[in-house]
Chains A and B, each alone.
Chain A
């Protein structure tokens, strides 16, 4: 049980760190995508599409096994997993930011200017608050998707929730045939406990902010 909690902890911090970094990188990327410059927007688009079709597992393997072999650098499994999740998350985040900024009607900007607000004031008091409201549900959704994807780190030998579960099953399985049902069922339950409130929260926000 205590070991399961340790595994859970690893799952949680890998996903939280990745989400945090994704938001950090995703916002400027998203603003670039929303920018008028066609070339930059196109490049960002290609990056996003590329990341989306690329299975996360393949990326994990690529960075963890292949790169270290080729370049002789030994990246820690934790570093690789956060890196890969951030590459993916930042791309998704950028797309969310782009969508939330471009979906704001142009006359919001205009009516702010017509009141004599400077462009900085319009951004600060009108555009950003609305963009954040539109962004939040998407970010939360991304968070749950990330938590659900973390078990992949299992394959590069990080003792996350799944890995620990498997080890327990291997040991206990000798004595108890139903051990796997209990342990994996419990893990299933833990994921549900974490993700469901998050998605409820996001629905609540969506309802509140229309």
Chain B
């Protein structure tokens, strides 16, 4: 459906180069995960995941449903404890006793699939809760930042609305602003458009594209392949708890190495043909 639409996203050439070429591999590593193993009860979900996220990099994680993408993101900001492995943020080891995860989570923003705004607070109060209660910032300063972000995503006029008065796409944009107002170093997005009506997908993806072009470090889980191709610096393909491929988007989409990745991509091709 939105496949063709998203194909059309054209980051200007200039922006793309700016963001990409000054070799990402040389930039400092923001998140470094080594050999993460995670199980729920008896079931092994992540079977040794290693990945680096460089400063300014957009990493897109794709893979079949249930392969552990969400679990990986949740492990990265400590929402799920891991069984073994190491996670570093800015070179500092997080997976050790005594880590203040509340502090870590201020630096790692996360947006989920389901609209998770707080229904009893209006848009502005939703956004300000973190900056004021957690970061103890001044209300006027935080509000200024929040307004600036809201303006950027085109929602400044909804600052006093309650979540129930917003559409799905608007709620997700507010959720993104809420995370951004904490001024995180890196943002995690877990299928933020998966439960949106098709016509609202684009407005949310556009916000993420503009963040990417601005150089924000991001890890994105998505099923929107066109978007993945446009936004990613690096694609990670996961299957059954392993990273099966790790490649730049043009390589991955045009020339996937493994048959599993081919099969996965074909699934989307087929879907695309059927809808036309």
Q: Which of B4-12, B46-54, B111-119, B247-255 contacts A (4 or more CB under 8 A)?
A: B111-119
CB nearest neighbor in B for A119: B102
Provide the A92-130 mask, 1 if CB < 8 A to any CB of B, else 0.
000000000000010110111111111001000110011
Indicate whether B129 reaches chain A with its CB closer than 8 angstroms: yes
- CB <8 Å contact, B105 and A115: yes
- CB <8 Å contact, A115 and B120: no
Indicate whether A133 reaches chain B with its CB closer than 8 angstroms: yes
Indicate whether A210 reaches chain B with its CB closer than 8 angstroms: yes
User: What is the predominant secondary structure among interface residues of chain A facing chain B?
Assistant: helix
Chain B, interface size category, equals 20 to 34
- CB <8 Å contact, A108 and B164: no
Q: Across the interface, which residues of A come within 8 angstroms of B130, CB to CB?
A: 115-117
Q: How far is the CA of A133 from the CA of B116 in the complex (A)?
A: 18
Count contacts between A and B, CB distance < 8 Å. Answer: 60
A110 and B79 contact, Cβ closer than 8 Å, known pairs A116-B130, A116-B182: yes
- CB <8 Å contact, A129 and B120: yes
Q: How far is the CA of A118 from the CA of B101 in the complex (A)?
A: 9
User: Within residues 54 to 108 of chain B, which ones have a CB less than 8 A from any CB in chain A?
Assistant: 77, 79, 102-106
A114 and B134 contact, Cβ closer than 8 Å, known pairs A129-B120, A130-B119, A210-B164: no
Give the contacting residue for B102; candidates A105, A118, A210; CB below 8 A: A118
Q: How far is the CA of A115 from the CA of B118 in the complex (A)?
A: 12
Interface residues contributed by chain A, number (CB under 8 Å): 20
Q: How far is the CA of A14 from the CA of B230 in the complex (A)?
A: 69
Q: Across the interface, which residues of A come within 8 angstroms of B110, CB to CB?
A: 114
Most chain B CB inside 10 Å of its own CB: which residue of A105, A108, A115, A121 = A115
Indicate whether B178 reaches chain A with its CB closer than 8 angstroms: yes
Q: Across the interface, which residues of B come within 8 angstroms of A133, CB to CB?
A: 120
Q: Across the interface, which residues of B come within 8 angstroms of A121, CB to CB?
A: 133-134
- CB <8 Å contact, B114 and A115: no
Q: Across the interface, which residues of B come within 8 angstroms of A117, CB to CB?
A: 102, 129-130, 133-134
- CB <8 Å contact, A116 and B105: yes
Provide the A1-23 mask, 1 if CB < 8 A to any CB of B, else 0.
00000000000000000000000
- CB <8 Å contact, A108 and B118: yes
- CB <8 Å contact, A116 and B116: no
Q: Across the interface, which residues of A come within 8 angstroms of B117, CB to CB?
A: 111
Q: Across the interface, which residues of A come within 8 angstroms of B134, CB to CB?
A: 115-117, 121
- CB <8 Å contact, B106 and A111: no
Instruction: For residue B209, give the distance in angstroms from its CB to the closest CB of chain A.
Output: 22
A125 and B105 contact, Cβ closer than 8 Å, known pairs A107-B116, A114-B110, A133-B120: no
- CB <8 Å contact, A111 and B112: yes
User: Within residues 119 to 174 of chain A, which ones have a CB less than 8 A from any CB in chain B?
Assistant: 121, 125-126, 129-130, 133
Instruction: For residue B239, give the distance in angstroms from its CB to the closest CB of chain A.
Output: 26
Most chain A CB inside 10 Å of its own CB: which residue of B105, B114, B133, B164 = B133
Provide the A30-74 mask, 1 if CB < 8 A to any CB of B, else 0.
000000000000000000000000000000000000000000000
Q: Across the interface, which residues of B come within 8 angstroms of A114, CB to CB?
A: 77, 79, 105, 109-110, 112, 179
CB nearest neighbor in A for B103: A116
CB nearest neighbor in B for A104: B119
Q: Which residues of B contact A (CB under 8 A)?
A: 77, 79, 102-106, 109-110, 112, 114, 116-120, 129-130, 133-135, 164, 175, 178-179, 182
Q: List 23 A-B contacts (CB under 8 A).
A: A105-B114, A107-B114, A108-B116, A110-B116, A111-B175, A112-B118, A113-B105, A114-B79, A114-B105, A114-B112, A115-B105, A115-B106, A115-B130, A115-B134, A115-B182, A116-B130, A117-B133, A121-B133, A125-B129, A130-B119, A130-B120, A209-B120, A210-B164
Q: Which residues of A contact B (CB under 8 A)?
A: 105, 107-108, 110-118, 121, 125-126, 129-130, 133, 209-210
7 residue pairs, one from A and one from B, having the closest CB atoms: A111-B116, A115-B130, A116-B105, A116-B106, A114-B110, A116-B134, A116-B102
